[in-house]
Amino acid sequence: MRTLKVALLGGGNVGAQVARILIEDGDALAARTGARLQLIGIAVRNVNAGRDVELPQELFTTDAETLVKDADLVIELMGGIEPARTLILSALRNGACVVTGNKALLAQDGPTLYEEADRAGVQLSYEAAVAGAIPILRLIRDSLAGDRITRVLGIVNGTTNFILDQMDSTGAQFADALAEAQRLGYAEADPTADVEGHDAAAKAAILASLSFHTRFALENVHCEGISSVSAADIAAAKDAGFVIKLLAIAEKLSDADSDGGAGVSVRVHPTLLPREHPLAAVRGAFNAVFIEAENAGELMFYGQGAGGTPTASAVLGDLVSAARRLVLGGPGRTETTTGHVPALPIDAAITSYYIGLDVADQPGVLARIAQLFAEHGVSIEIMRQTIHRDAESNVESAELRIVTHRASEAALAATVEAVKGLDVINSVTSVLRVEGV
Is the Cβ of residue 45 or residue 215 nearer to ligand NAP in the bound state? Answer: 45
Is the Cβ of residue 13 or residue 352 nearer to ligand NAP in the bound state? Answer: 13
Is the Cβ of residue 28 or residue 104 nearer to ligand NAP in the bound state? Answer: 104
Is the Cβ of residue 52 or residue 257 nearer to ligand NAP in the bound state? Answer: 52
Closest approach, Cβ 129 to ligand NAP, in A, equals: 6
Of the candidates 5, 69, 103, 203, the residue annotated as catalytic is 203
Strands, sheet with 242-253, edge to edge from the N-terminal-most edge strand? 222-223, 263-274, 242-253, 149-155, 286-293, 297-304
d(CA 271, CA 50): 41
- Triad 62, 63, 65: Cα angle to 5°: 140
The closest of 414, 416, 409 to 369, measured between CA atoms, is: 416
Q: How crowded is residue 356: how many other Cβ atoms within 10 Å of its Cβ?
A: 14
- For binding to ligand NAP (CB under 6 A), which residues are involved? 10-15, 43-46, 49, 64, 77-79, 83, 101-103, 128, 132, 306-307, 311
DSSP state of 203: H
**Quick check: helix, strand or coil at residue 186?**
coil
Cα four-point dihedral sign 105, 199, 157, 111: negative
Interacting residues of 371 by C-beta distance below 8 A, sequence separation 6+: none
203 is annotated as an active-site residue: yes
Closest approach, Cβ 206 to ligand NAP, in A, equals: 12
Is the Cβ of residue 101 or residue 110 nearer to ligand NAP in the bound state? Answer: 101
DSSP state of 256: T
Cβ atoms of 95 and 85 closer than 8 Å: no
- Triad 186, 188, 191: Cα angle to 5°: 105
Is the Cβ of residue 199 or residue 251 nearer to ligand NAP in the bound state? Answer: 199
CA distances from 345 to 339, 349, 354, 434 (A): 18, 7, 21, 18
Interacting residues of 94 by C-beta distance below 8 A, sequence separation 6+: 68, 69, 71
Closest approach, Cβ 245 to ligand NAP, in A, equals: 19
Closest approach, Cβ 228 to ligand NAP, in A, equals: 25
Is the Cβ of residue 187 or residue 400 nearer to ligand NAP in the bound state? Answer: 187
Closest approach, Cβ 354 to ligand NAP, in A, equals: 37
Is the Cβ of residue 13 or residue 415 nearer to ligand NAP in the bound state? Answer: 13
Residue 269: CA atoms inside 13 Å, Cβ hemisphere, count? Answer: 10
d(CA 286, CA 97): 30
d(CA 12, CA 53): 9
Closest approach, Cβ 324 to ligand NAP, in A, equals: 23
CA distances from 362 to 190, 353, 371, 400 (A): 62, 25, 16, 13
DSSP string, 103-162: HHHHHHHHHHHHHHHHHHT--EE-GGGTTTT--HHHIIIIITTTS-EEEEEEE--HHHHH
Closest approach, Cβ 314 to ligand NAP, in A, equals: 8
> Closest residue to ligand NAP, Cβ-based?
12
Residues classed as catalytic? 203
